[in-house]
Structure 1
């Protein structure tokens, strides 16, 4: 169990690109891990932490997006 927790911490230091999971609002999978193994979820900030990382049935809340991460947010419609 301790090894899994350490891996969650290491994920924040990896250069990862996160893409939206189709049909799952606010959930993203990475270019390195399968989406069944590891994903992130954007929460209702500021009431909740900005992100939650899910890795092999473990979770970790984080307040800031790590600098090495690239998040490909879904296209938003322009405001009129």
Structure 2
């Protein structure tokens, strides 16, 4: 993406609502991000789900793991 993309995006977002404030920050080493090795995080989340809901089965654990990683901050 071009350099002016994000400032323009943030400025346009502010015209919609002041709650859509954005800035570019540093990505922490333990953040769930494509540039970080998140396998241990994913495996631990899956393990916790499988132990908490053993009756749900593998399909649920896989789907719920994906759902939590994609839609909710952990």
TM-score by length of 1: 0.21
Structure (1/2) with the larger helix percentage: 2
TM-score by length of 2: 0.22
Higher relative contact order (CA 8 A, sep 6+): 1
